[in-house]
Copies of this chain bind each other. A is one copy, B any other.
Amino acid sequence: MDQPSPAAPAATRRSRRGSGAVTLHDVAKLAGVAPITASRALSSPKQVSPEVLKRVTDAVSKTGYVRNGLAGSLASTRSRLVAAVVPTIAGPVFQNSIQSLTEALAESGYQLMLGQSGYVNSREDALLEAIIGRRPDGIVLTGIMHSAEGRKRLMAAGIPVVETWDLTPTPLDMLVGFSHVDVGTAMAEYLIGKGHRRLAVVAGDDERADRRLLSFETAARAAGLPEVVAVRVPAPTTLKSGREALGQLLESGAVDAVFCSSDLLALGVLTEARTRGIDVPKDLAVTGFGDLEFAADLEPSLTTVRIDGQAIGRQAARFIIDRAEGRTAEAAVVDVGFQIIERASA
C-alpha cells in the first residue's frame, strides 16, 4: 500500500502547497474514517460512535493534529473571533472590561482580537476595515460609533456590534453602558448636598468626560452656584495631569470641591494637595471616576463613581455569543448604571 518513496516522517506530507501541517485528512485516514466523520468526532463527539471517537482522538494525539480554524471559519462562516476596539489599552479604565470580556469569551471557545483606535477617530476607519476583513462573530466597541462612515460599514457588514461604556437612544445594534450625563448630574448633586459651593472639574479631553462635565455644570448652575471652574487635560489622563491641574485650579480662585474624570487624575490632585498642605477633605473635597482597584486604599480613601467594568465585559460577551449561537438576545440594551462610592476624600 505504500508508495516506493524515501521513508517519510510520521506526519504525512501533502501534495503541493499548504503549510505542510497535519490536516484533518491525515487524521481521518489514520483513523480509517471519512474526513467529515473525523470533523464530527472533534466538534460534536456525541454524533459519533464511541469506537470511532476513540480511533479519531487516538489519531489526533498520534499526529499532533491542530485544527485549522481559518479553514473551518471559512467553511462555516463562523470565526469564533470577537473584535474589541478600545481608545488605548494604556488607560486603566477599560482593563476590567477587556479582561472579563476575554475571559467570558474564552470560556465559550471564542478568542479576542484587540484594536486600538486612539482617542482621535482617524485610525478608526482603517481599523474597522481590518477588523471586518477577519469576519469576526462580533465587534465590541468602546463608546458609541459616531462616524457616519463607520456606522455604515458596520451595518453593511452584518456583524453583531455591541457599543459599550455609554448610552444612546440610537444604538447601532446592541448596547451595554451607562449615562455619563447622569453621572455628572449625580456627582454635582452629591457635592452640593455636602455643602460645597465652589465646584471644579478636572476632565480628560475625551468626549464622554465632556458630557459628564457638561451635566455637572448644568446641575451646578441649576442650584444657583457660581460657575464651575473646569480644567481640561489630555487623554489618557495621568497622575501628573492631576497634579498640574490642581495648580491651575488654585490660581483661578477659591474652590472647595473637585470632580476628576478619572481616579488617576484624582490621585494626582490628592498628591498635589498634600504637598501644598491642603487638607482633603476639610479644605477640599476630591472625587474621582472609575473606582479603580486602588481607590479604596488611598489615603484619604477616594470618593468616586463606581462603574462595573466586569459586568460590561461579561454582558457584551453574552450578547455576542447569544447572537452567534443563534439564540435571540433578549434585550438589546443594558444600562449597568453607576454608583457613587462615598469614602473619605469627599
Contacts and interface: CB of A to CB of B under 8 A. Distances in A.
Interface of A: 17-21, 64, 66-71, 73-74, 77, 79, 81, 88-90, 92, 95-96, 98-99, 102-103, 106, 109, 111-116, 123, 127, 129-135, 153, 156-158, 238-240, 243, 264, 267-268, 271, 274-275, 293-294, 296-299
A338 to B, nearest CB: 20
Contact of A268 (B66, B81, B96, B297): B297
Contact of A135 (B69, B77, B115, B131): B69
Contact of A106 (B81, B89, B115): B115
Contact of A90 (B99, B113, B158, B274): B99
Contacts of A153: 64, 66
A68 B132 CA distance: 8
A112 B77 CA distance: 21
Contacts of A74: 68, 70-71, 74
A100 to B, nearest CB: 9
A21 B115 contact: no
26 contacts: A17-B77, A18-B77, A21-B158, A66-B157, A68-B133, A69-B134, A70-B79, A71-B74, A81-B113, A90-B96, A99-B116, A106-B115, A106-B123, A109-B130, A111-B113, A111-B130, A112-B114, A114-B114, A238-B294, A238-B297, A240-B293, A240-B294, A240-B296, A243-B297, A264-B294, A271-B298
B116 A106 contact: yes
Which of A66, A81, A95, A127 is the most central at the interface, judged by chain B CB atoms within 10 Å of its CB? Answer: A66
A8 to B, nearest CB: 16
A74 B298 CA distance: 52
Contacts of A20: 158
Contact of A66 (B133, B264, B274, B299): B133
Nearest to A94: B89
Contacts of A156: 64
A304 to B, nearest CB: 14
A111 B103 contact: no
Contact of A116 (B18, B102, B293): B102
A243 B103 CA distance: 29
B68 A135 contact: yes
A71 B76 CA distance: 12
A294 B98 CA distance: 22
Contacts of A135: 19, 68-70
